[in-house]
Amino acid sequence: MLTMKDIIREGHPTLRKVAKEVDTPLSEEDKALGQEMMEFLKNSQDPEMAEKYELRSGVGLAAPQINEQKRIIAVLIPAIDENGEEFILFEDVMYNPRIISHSVQKAALADGEGCLSIDRPIEGLVPRHERITVEWTDAEGNKKQQRFRDYEAIVIQHEIDHLNGKLFFDRIDPLQPYAARDFKLL
Ligand SMILES: CNC(=O)c1cccc(C)c1Nc1nc(N2CCN(c3ccccc3Cl)CC2)nc(N2CSC[C@H]2C(=O)NC)n1
Ligand code: NI
C-alpha cells in the first residue's frame, strides 16, 4: 500500500514536469497504479488507517506525486447529507483527464488549499474556474465527460495542475493573497 514515504515533496523535479498521456487500451500496470492511488485516498480518509500509517488526508492524488510521470489522477470526495450521513460525492480514477470547457466565473476555497506534496501551510486564495467540463478515460476504458462545479471542480483542477507541473501556490496572487475580487468563496 502507498504511504507518505511514496509521496514526493516540494523540490523534487518530477513535481515540475509535464506528465505523459497513458496509452489506451490501458495497461494492467496503469490500471494497478490507479487502484493503488485510490486505495491511498480511502486509507487517508479513514481515521484509523490514517493514524496507524501516519497518512495525511486528501481528496485527490496525481501520479506525479508518487513519481510517476503519467496523466492519471484519483479523486475521492466525501460529503455529509442533511441527516449527517456521509456519502461519496465523486469517486473515480481519471486517465488522461482534459478540461474541455470552463466558466468565466472563478471560485476559491475560503480556507486556502493544502497539498500532500507540500509540507508547509501556504496561506492565500487559489482562484480557479468555478465550473469545468472534463473528459477522461476511466479504469474500464470508457470515455467519460462530466460537468463539475464548486469543491469538486477545485479538487479536479488542483490534481490536473499536478499533471502540468503546476502547484497550487503558483496561482496565489503574491501581492494580494486574500483579494477575493471577482470570485466566489467556497
Ligand atoms: C491551507 N488550508 C487548508 O488546507 C484548508 C483548511 C481548512 C479547510 C480546507 C478545505 C482547507 N483546504 C483543503 N482541505 C482539503 N481537505 C480537507 C480535509 N479532508 C479530510 C480530512 C480528514 C478526513 C477526511 C478528509 Cl476528506 C481532506 C481534504 N483538501 C484540500 N485540497 C486542495 S484541492 C485538493 C485537496 C487535497 O486533497 N489536498 C491534500 N484543501
Ligand atoms: Ni496537490
Q: Is 138 helix (H, G, I), strand (E, B) or coil?
A: coil
Ligand 1 pocket: which of 113, 122, 125, 186 to mutate (most atoms within 8 A of CB): 113
Distance separating alpha carbons of residues 127 and 177, to the nearest angstrom: 10
- Ligand nearest to the CA of residue 63, numbered in listed order: 2
- Residue 1 in any domain: the answer is no
Q: Which of 180, 179, 157 is nearest to 168 (CA)?
A: 157
Distance separating alpha carbons of residues 126 and 146, to the nearest angstrom: 23
The residue contributing the CA closest to ligand 1 atom 10 is: 111
With 90 as the cut, is the pLDDT of residue 155 above it?
yes
- Residue 78 in any domain: the answer is yes
**Confidence (pLDDT) at 179:** 86
Distance separating alpha carbons of residues 122 and 4, to the nearest angstrom: 19
| Nearest atom, ligand 1, residue 47 CA | 23
- Residue 3 in any domain: the answer is no
Residues annotated as catalytic are 159
**Confidence (pLDDT) at 182:** 85
Question: Which residues constitute the domain of residue 124?
Answer: 13-185
Distance separating alpha carbons of residues 167 and 146, to the nearest angstrom: 24
Task: For ligand 1, say whether the CB of 45 is within 6 Å of any of its atoms.
Answer: yes
- Ligand nearest to the CA of residue 172, numbered in listed order: 1
Task: Quote the percentage of the chain above a pLDDT of 90.
Answer: 96
- Residue 156 in any domain: the answer is yes
Ligand 1 pocket: which of 10, 48, 57 to mutate (most atoms within 8 A of CB): 57
Q: Return the higher-pLDDT residue of 178 and 144.
A: 144
Mean pLDDT across the stretch 91-115? 98
Task: For ligand 1, say whether the CB of 108 is within 6 Å of any of its atoms.
Answer: no
Alpha helices in 46-149 (DSSP H): 47-52
**Confidence (pLDDT) at 180:** 75
With 90 as the cut, is the pLDDT of residue 145 above it?
yes
- Residue 108 in any domain: the answer is yes
Question: Does the pTM of the predicted model rise above 0.95?
Answer: yes
Could you tell me if 15 and 162 are in contact, meaning their C-beta atoms sit under 8 angstroms apart? yes
C-alpha cell at 180: 477575493
Report the separation in Å between the CA atom of 32 and the middle of ligand 1, taken as the mean of its atom positions.
25
C-alpha cell at 170: 503558483
Number of domains in the chain: 1
- Residue 112 in any domain: the answer is yes
169: domain CATH number?
3.90.45.10
Q: Which of 164, 161, 162, 135 is nearest to 148 (CA)?
A: 135
Question: pLDDT tens digit string along 64-100?
Answer: 999 999 999 999 999 999 999 999 999 999 999 999 9
Report yes or no for ipTM above 0.90. yes
C-alpha cell at 96: 488522461
CA distances from 69 to 11, 18, 65, 72 (A): 16, 7, 9, 9
